[in-house]
């Protein structure tokens, strides 16, 4: 083989290297697109987990399973129910919750405490570290044989969530009372006093005053939305 | 450059490019294998997200069909070995018995003067890692009525199980727990029905899997999942009806 031929043959080698580089670039591009798909799938999974989390909150509250409820919060979480004021941190949230049941945990004989968790709008931050959710609670409560038929309650939440070591937790729980009314007559009559009686801690004091001053129905008040109009962006 | 030097250069270049081509091929094969693996994982994850939605839809569909007394459509949602257990009515094994149970509730289709709303709300859904089974806790809210005669509220908890067969999710075990039933006039704090007994005209195949009294008694229907944050196991349970 002449030297010239050897040189000519070997000069083609870089061509195949170039081709390989092109393939490697395509593989890298596909990896990048796949990573973006994985991230989008992860955001959808986040929404599912947050929905499971908030709905579990409702099932635990139904039965006054306070330790389960407290478990759902991050360490520095806040909780504010109706006109309760703001409780800061797990210990104070626990203090508030136990006050609602005279210090006990678990369902009480003769007490209905159903807290439906409905109609979620969950918005996960792009980085997947935090999220916000607007929800609706429908309450059916009552003490059996108390003479009344019980109570209705209704209102939206604007809540916040944080993901810590892959687990979503509630970092802020804020329920705005629309109304809390006797079963008899329902929302024909509504007063702030009834909301206060339902939502204030019994014999415990909140760490901070209510974060917003408002009166429940029949007063006109729009709990602020955490998101702009999803269609117009307004 | 001497002839020898040139030869040495060419051989060196050849060795270099040959080596680099080989290692590039190996690297490429490795990164393609990694890519394929990541694609397979992403496919599994997306499949499980679709499963989650499918379970949510199936639960909602069940509620809508009950509203309209679509007895055969309800039974069709169950697997061949599906089980139904509602309130204290006892356990019915297999799709044929599920069909009988549903037909026993009344004539097929909406009836003039009869309201049978069964709102199916608040699902907490867990799809198994293998994507073949799933469980959901959900809430039942009932508005029942016979016009000018009877109006009732009802409330309950479902702990249902699902199975995927040939790519289709089906109900494997529908288990509805009774929280309360009362009439509209009284509301839930003046009146609450005792647990609903088995139908005399349609005795069950077996007794209810969990004996309990509904509100005003204190009872927690077991959760099919531990606490989602801490894994706390209090009130965890997956009661199953006894073997047929």
Please write the tens of the pLDDT for every residue from B102-157. Answer: 999 999 999 999 999 999 999 999 999 999 999 999 999 999 999 999 999 999 99
pLDDT band per the 50, 70, 90 thresholds, residue B19: very low
Q: Do B228 and A145 touch (CB under 8 A)?
A: no
Report whether pLDDT(B14) > 50.
Answer: no
Q: Which of A41, A58, A106 sits opposite B42 (nearest CB)?
A: A41
| Nearest residue in chain B measured CA to CA from A32 | B35
Residues in chain A: 234
Domain that holds residue A168: 12-199
Q: What is the mean pLDDT of residues A16-41?
A: 89
Strand blocks (E) in chain A: 73-81, 87-88, 111-124, 130-143, 151-164, 167-175, 179-182
For testing the chain B interface, which of A39, A57, A65 should be mutated: the one with the most B CBs within 10 Å? A65
Q: Residue by residue, what is the 3-state secondary structure of chain B?
A: CCHHHHHHHHHHHHHHHHHHHHHHHHHHHHHHHHHHHHHHHHHHHHHHHHHHHHHHHHHHHHHHHHHCCCHHHHHHCEEEEEEEEECCCCEEECHHHHHHHHHHCCCCCCCCCEEEEEEEEEEEEEECCCCCEEEEEEEEEEEEEECCCEEEEEEEEEEEEEEEECCEEEEEEEEEEEEEEEECCCCCCCCCCCCCCCCCCCCCCECCCCCCCCCCCCCCCCECCCCCCCCCCCCECCCCCCCC
* Residue-wise pLDDT tens digits, A122-133: 999 999 999 999
Chain A neighbours among B 154-173 (CB < 8 Å)? 155, 157
User: Average model confidence (pLDDT) for chain B?
Assistant: 92
Six token digits for residue B111: 């009836």
In this prediction, residue B244 carries a pLDDT of 82
What's the first-to-final CA gap in chain B, in angstroms?
93
The verdict on B213 touching A (C-beta cutoff 8 Å) is no
In this prediction, residue A21 carries a pLDDT of 83
In this prediction, residue A3 carries a pLDDT of 57
Distance from C-alpha of B45 to C-alpha of A183, rounded to nearest angstrom: 46
Q: Which of B6, B179, B218 sits opposite A109 (nearest CB)?
A: B218
| Nearest residue in chain B measured CA to CA from A165 | B229
Distance in Å, alpha carbon of B79 to nearest chain A alpha carbon = 25
Q: Which of A23, A56, A111 sits opposite B124 (nearest CB)?
A: A56
Six token digits for residue B203: 């005795």
In this prediction, residue B8 carries a pLDDT of 54
Distance from C-alpha of A100 to C-alpha of A203, rounded to nearest angstrom: 9
Contacts of A182 by beta carbon, 8 Å cutoff, 6+ apart: A148, A149, A150, A151, A152, A189, A194
* Residue-wise pLDDT tens digits, A45-67: 999 999 999 999 999 999 999 99
Distance from C-alpha of B180 to C-alpha of B87, rounded to nearest angstrom: 10
Q: What is the mean pLDDT of residues A31-49?
A: 96
**In angstroms, what is the C-alpha Rg of chain A?**
28
The verdict on B183 touching A (C-beta cutoff 8 Å) is no
Chain A neighbours among B 59-118 (CB < 8 Å)? none
User: Average model confidence (pLDDT) for chain A?
Assistant: 93
Return the DSSP state at A187: G
Report whether pLDDT(A175) > 90.
Answer: yes
The verdict on B56 touching A (C-beta cutoff 8 Å) is no
The verdict on B193 touching A (C-beta cutoff 8 Å) is no
* Residue-wise pLDDT tens digits, A76-119: 999 999 999 999 999 999 999 999 999 999 999 999 999 999 99
- Strands A73-81 and A167-175, how do they pair? parallel
Complex ipTM, two decimals?
0.92
Chain A residue numbers with beta carbons less than 8 Å from the beta carbon of B215 are 112, 144
In this prediction, residue B122 carries a pLDDT of 98
- Strands B150-165 and B91-93, how do they pair? unpaired
Q: Which of A6, A63, A109 sits opposite B217 (nearest CB)?
A: A109
Q: Do A38 and B42 touch (CB under 8 A)?
A: yes
Residue with tokens 């007994």: B197
Q: Is the residue at A2 inside a domain?
A: no
Q: Is the residue at A38 inside a domain?
A: yes
* Residue-wise pLDDT tens digits, B59-72: 999 999 999 999 99
| Nearest residue in chain B measured CA to CA from A24 | B28
- H/E element holding A10? helix A3-11
Q: Do A116 and B21 touch (CB under 8 A)?
A: no
pLDDT band per the 50, 70, 90 thresholds, residue A227: very high
* Residue-wise pLDDT tens digits, A132-153: 999 999 999 999 999 899 999 9
Q: Do A55 and B7 touch (CB under 8 A)?
A: no
Chain A residue numbers with beta carbons less than 8 Å from the beta carbon of B35 are 27, 30-31, 34
Q: Do A48 and B124 touch (CB under 8 A)?
A: no
For testing the chain A interface, which of B127, B228, B237 should be mutated: the one with the most A CBs within 10 Å? B228
Q: Do B228 and A48 touch (CB under 8 A)?
A: no
The CATH fold assigned to B5-183 is Nuclear Transport Factor 2; Chain: A, (3.10.450)
CATH of the domain at A165: 3.10.450.50
Q: Which of B34, B122, B235 sits opposite A55 (nearest CB)?
A: B122
pLDDT band per the 50, 70, 90 thresholds, residue B15: very low
Report whether pLDDT(A10) > 70.
Answer: no
Write the burial class of residue B46 (CB in 10 Å: 0-12 exposed, 13-18 middle, 19+ buried): middle
Q: How many domains does chain A have?
A: 1
Q: Which of B3, B13, B122 sits opposite A116 (nearest CB)?
A: B122
């Amino acid at each position: 083989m002449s030297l010239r031929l050897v040189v000519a043959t070997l000069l083609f080698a870089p061509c195949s290297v170039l081709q390989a580089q092109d393939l490697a670039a395509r593989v890298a591009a596909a990896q990048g697109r796949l990573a973006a798909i994985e991230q989008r799938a992860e955001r959808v999974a986040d929404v599912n987990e947050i929905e499971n989390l908030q709905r579990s909150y409702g099932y635990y509250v139904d039965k006054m399973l306070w330790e389960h409820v407290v478990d759902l919060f991050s360490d520095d979480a806040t909780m504010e129910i109706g006109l309760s004021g703001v409780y800061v941190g797990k210990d104070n949230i626990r203090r508030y919750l136990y006050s609602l049941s005279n210090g006990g945990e678990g369902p009480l004989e003769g007490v209905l405490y159903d807290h439906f968790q409905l109609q979620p709008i969950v918005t996960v931050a792009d980085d997947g570290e935090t999220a916000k959710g607007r929800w609706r609670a429908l309450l059916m409560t009552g003490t059996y044989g108390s003479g009344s038929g019980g109570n209705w309650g209704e209102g939206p939440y604007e809540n916040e969530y944080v993901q810590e070591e892959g687990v979503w937790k509630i970092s802020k729980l804020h329920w705005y009372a629309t109304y809390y009314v006797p079963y008899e007559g329902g929302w024909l009559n509504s007063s702030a006093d009834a909301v206060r009686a339902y939502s204030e801690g019994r014999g415990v004091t909140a760490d901070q005053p209510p974060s917003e001053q408002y009166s429940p129905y029949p007063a006109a008040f729009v709990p602020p939305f955490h998101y702009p109009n999803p269609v117009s962006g307004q | 450059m001497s002839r020898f030097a040139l030869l040495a250069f060419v051989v060196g270049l050849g060795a270099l490019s040959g080596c680099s081509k080989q290692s590039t091929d190996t690297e490429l094969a490795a990164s393609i294998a990694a890519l394929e693996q990541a694609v397979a994982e992403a496919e599994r994850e997306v499949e499980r997200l679709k499963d989650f939605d499918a379970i949510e839809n199936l639960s909602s569909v069940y509620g809508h069909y009950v509203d309209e007394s679509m007895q055969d459509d309800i039974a069709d949602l169950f697997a061949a070995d599906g089980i139904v257990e509602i309130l204290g009515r006892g356990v019915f094994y297999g799709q044929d018995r599920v069909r009988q149970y549903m037909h026993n509730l009344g004539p097929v289709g909406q009836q003039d003067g009869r309201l049978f709303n069964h709102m199916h709300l608040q699902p907490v859904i867990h799809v198994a890692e293998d994507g073949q089974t799933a469980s959901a806790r959900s809430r039942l809210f009932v508005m029942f009525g016979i016009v000018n005669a009877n109006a009732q509220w009802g409330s309950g908890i479902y702990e249902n199980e699902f199975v995927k067969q040939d790519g289709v999710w089906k109900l494997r075990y529908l288990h509805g727990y009774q929280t309360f039933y009362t009439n509209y006039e009284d509301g839930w704090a003046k009146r609450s029905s005792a647990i609903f007994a088995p139908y005399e005209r349609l005795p069950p195949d077996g007794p209810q899997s969990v004996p309990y009294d509904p509100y005003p008694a204190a009872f927690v229907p077991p959760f099919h999942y531990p606490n989602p944050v801490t894994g706390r196991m209090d009130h965890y349970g997956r009661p199953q009806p006894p073997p047929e």
